[in-house]
């Protein structure tokens, strides 16, 4: 069993966003209650790597008196082929825990498909300012700078780092480049997630 070119790009985009490859070599991702169509889309494209229990849902409370919120989970079987992604996107920190990192070769990884999946996971659109932001808070400043440079070199799309809180940065794409983003990724996004790029 091998990943197709599309599956490879698909997985890169997911792992850049909210997806995870565990040290047990399984892919897993949790989706909020309003993201069921996106969860279904991810599961449909990873279905051949999952058991019949690879897609499920449950309800949780965010606090003692809060309402119940739906969560959707996609998880694959344990497969050696996920080792490539774990080795590429994770490293052990000083506390012996695996943390997600941005690959140094991110420029070669980025494609319209992977960028689209990244935006569906972590993109936001400001309705008043008409700008797109990519929530890269989990990466270091140096990694976000590298990502910004890679997006410029690969797609000709400029972005700037925005400091949001202590040692956390997001990428901001100004209004004038949003049409470039839309043209690049819209054919690789599902309708329910188009709002993340202002469509």
Domain termination residue (choose one: 66, 100, 134): 100
**One domain for residues 94 and 9:** yes
User: Do 25 and 84 sit in the same domain of this protein?
Assistant: yes
Same domain assignment for residues 60 and 29: yes
> Is a pLDDT exceeding 80 seen at residue 65?
no
Indicate whether 76 and 110 sit together in one domain.
no
pLDDT score, position 96: 86
Q: Do residue 9 and residue 91 come from a single domain?
A: yes
Closest by CA position to 10, among listed 33, 41, 32: 41
pLDDT per residue as tens digits for the range 139-149: 999 999 999 99
Domain identity same for 91 and 36 = yes
Higher pLDDT, 62 or 24: 24
- For residues 131 and 183, membership in a common domain is answered with yes
Residue 128's pLDDT is what?
94
* Domain that residue 76 falls in: 5-100
Count of structural domains, the chain: 2
Among the candidates 100, 123, 154, a domain finishes at 100
C-alpha closest to that of 100 among 110, 87, 91: 91
Q: Facing residues of 61 across strands?
A: 68
Task: Supply angle C-alpha 92, 80, 74, rounded to 5.
Answer: 80
Q: 172: pLDDT confidence band, cut at 50, 70 and 90? A: very high
- Give residue 164's pLDDT band: very low, low, confident or very high (50, 70, 90): confident
- How confident is the model at residue 57, as a pLDDT? 92
- The confidence score (pLDDT) of residue 165 equals 85
Among 45, 79, 100, the domain-final residue is 100
Is the per-residue pLDDT at 192 higher than 90? yes
Q: State the virtual CA torsion across 56, 186, 112, 84 in degrees, nearest 10.
A: 0
CB 154 within 8 A of CB 110: yes
Same domain, 76 and 138: no
Task: Give the pLDDT band (50/70/90) at residue 61.
Answer: confident
**Band (108; pLDDT cuts 50, 70, 90):** very high
What's the pLDDT tens digit per position in 49-58? 999 899 999 8
The domain that holds 129 is classified in CATH as 3.10.28.10
pLDDT at position 78 is: 96
Domain identity same for 112 and 179 = yes
Q: Angle formed by the axes of helices 112-122 and 5-16, to 10°?
A: 30
71 and 35 in a common domain: yes
């Amino acid at each position: 069993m091998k990943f197709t070119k599309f599956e490879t790009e698909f997985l890169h985009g997911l792992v850049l966003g909210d997806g995870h490859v565990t040290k047990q070599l399984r892919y897993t991702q949790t989706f909020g209650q309003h993201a069921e169509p996106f969860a279904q889309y991810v599961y449909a494209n990873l279905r051949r790597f999952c058991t019949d229990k690879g897609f499920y849902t449950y309800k949780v409370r965010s606090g003692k008196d809060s309402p119940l919120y739906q969560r959707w989970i996609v998880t694959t079987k344990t497969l050696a082929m996920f080792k490539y992604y774990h080795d590429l996107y994770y490293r052990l920190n000083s506390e012996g825990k695996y943390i997600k990192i941005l690959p140094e070769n991110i420029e070669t990884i980025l494609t319209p498909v992977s960028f689209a999946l990244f935006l569906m996971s972590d993109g936001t659109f400001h309705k008043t300012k008409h700008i797109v932001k990519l929530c890269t808070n989990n990466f270091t400043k140096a990694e976000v700078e590298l990502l910004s440079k890679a997006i410029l070199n690969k797609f000709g799309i400029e972005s700037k780092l925005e400091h949001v809180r202590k040692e956390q940065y997001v990428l901001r794409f100004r209004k004038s480049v949003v049409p470039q983003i839309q043209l690049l990724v819209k054919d690789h996004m599902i309708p329910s997630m188009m709002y993340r790029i202002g469509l």
